[in-house]
A and B are shown apart, each in its own frame.
Chain A
Amino acid sequence: MTDIFGLLKGNPGEDDYENKGVIVQGITGSYGSLHAGKMLEYGTNIVAGVTPGKGDQTWNESVPIYNTMQEAVDATHAKISIIFVPAKFFLSAAKEALEAGIKLLVAIPEHVPIRDTMETLELANQKGAVVIGPNTPGIMIPELIKIGIMPPMPFKAGKIAVLSKSGTLLYEISDALTNAGFGQSITIGIGGDPINGTRLIDAFDMVKDIPDLEGMVVVGEIGGDSEEMLAQRIIDTGFSKPTVAYIAGRAAPKEKRMGHAGAIVMGNYGSAESKISMFNKANIPVAKRPAEVPVLLAGKMDKSD
């Protein structure tokens, strides 16, 4: 499985350890520019921006802009890219990044056609690259690197991994965890789309063997079966670190899309009951409210002591 920590911060001894370069695709757009600024503030090492036709300029008086991903990668050797382009242009931007050798692609755009996502994932698979998203808030190691649009204040460095389908619930629940003294080792927003580059089980595989991991929180929602697959994987791998889940959408009517493109229940497929019952099988308590998450986690920690 992908060594996500290796990708995000590298390994001790490497000359850019804990300072991995990130390219921002669409850095001159208003959204891209806003968040590039916020990532820089957080300490993310933004080494290049890409906007076709704006090569040879400089963003924010410090970051060189290139016309193509190939030029940006050749110049910086960066392996990470974050995309802020309109959904219509996502497929070409993503292909360009993967062809240029990007190994971790964080796809922020919402409303990407599913077919375009699938084509991107097929190429990523051939190239051995990881795609987070689309429609993701991003991925971060708190207090070290943030590649995404999440606000900084809910997060604090620690030893809990948080995997989430929802952006705001990721913030809300991380905030509750932080206030209860549970910092986070990594948080991964997989996104609310029907098809995610990194599914919950992939995200789980990326984090389950972190040596100092003390627990995991899974924030799911109605739609699809990725929570069920994750619960099964947790059972199969015998993962025993304290884990707590939260599922949003119990009260949502069937056959209605609840905001997120992927949040829809068809029959029993994708229902909260189905997910909750699988988590129960895996001996993972499911919180009824976001505020209950740290309480349940603390309970699990006590038992595992």
Chain B
Amino acid sequence: MSFNRRSFMKGSAAAAALLAAERSGLLDVAKAWAAMNPFKPEAGAELRLLRWKRFIQSEEDAFNAAVAAFTEATGVAVTVENEFMDDIQPKASVAANVGSGPDLVWGLYSTPHLFPNKLLDLTDVADHLGGEYGGWVDSAKAYGVNGGKWIGLPMCFNGNYINYRQSAIEKAGFKTFPDDNAGFLELCKALKGTGMPAGMALGHASGDGNAWVHWALWSHGGAMVDENDKVIIDSPESLAACEYVKELYDTFIPGTASWNDGNNNKAFLSGEVGLTNNGISIYTKAVVDGMEMAADIDHAVWPTGPVGKPTEFHIAYPIMAFNYTKFPNACKAFMAFMMSSPTYDKWLDGAVGYLTHSLNAFDNAPVWTDDPKRTIFREAAKRTLTAGYQGSVGEKAAAALAEFIVLDMFASVATGQSSPADAVKQAARKAERIYSR
């Protein structure tokens, strides 16, 4: 057996995670859970799990502590590999295509729907967890079920809301955050005038970029497809949304057309912008680092547009297991354990609002009331619309998201590359290609 720096680091990390599990009482919880576990892992089972790289350190620590407790209680070794979230889907796709790779992948949005026939049927685990914890939220069912069976378990969602500085909006003449699109545009115009403008990503930012442009489209009554997956994006509503985004973009800090998912965090924390859209990670970073601005940061739900109802788009994080795994029961046991109480409560606690539960029973988790600035994120899974909106959530919706069709439509108008009419037609053509396959 070789011993080197890498094995030392891995060993140290595992030992630290186990120690954390022991201190938090998770080890005893895991042992008690293992005795009752309905999904008995195969003898000698070992699992490889690929997950998105954490944005909140305490979330990863809590996750690893739970993994360590699971291993200790069941004897199933779990190797956790981390990748930047945009790289999860390509890696999962390759694994699905070649039939080899990680046993479990914890990915984004509708990734499981890209290769549903390559995945383990998780209906029994979903039914077990749903029965135990008050049922799944609707969006979780939409992302998890394909052809009548569960192909992925949306373990949680990431609420993507407006992050703003209270002092900035007050300086702009607003006491409270506006709740409609017109008021939001007025606020952004006023913020520009104060020298603390708004800024939202219009580069190929899969999380923050897709979140706000879909809100913009849907809030005007536009949509990529109808209930039958017929492309309907070439509509007066989409044109109105383009005009609105153009006006909004003109109020932004320069450069947002190049922003990816990290730029807005940096710009907000350095005081360059007074408003952006993001998860709770900006606020958490400010709190953890003891920044003065933490007290000034608050969050708001997305304004309601002409369509008259909330049209939010939050990130779903489904976990899936490939059917090539030699240890299907161990995979199921792992999922069941991670989403069982109190393991899941502790994990939510570690995520400090970055992750929102997908099982109704966790509405009462302490994380949502410990800090009032987190409470808004409790509703993310219930308020979100799904990829595809009125249409199917499957591989076509995933492809449309991956190709940034809506985002590029707005970006081309905002940056003056295309007229709204041309941009909408171009988007319709791309969407037709995907939805006619």
Partners in one complex: no
Give chain B's interface residues, CB within 8 Å of chain A: none
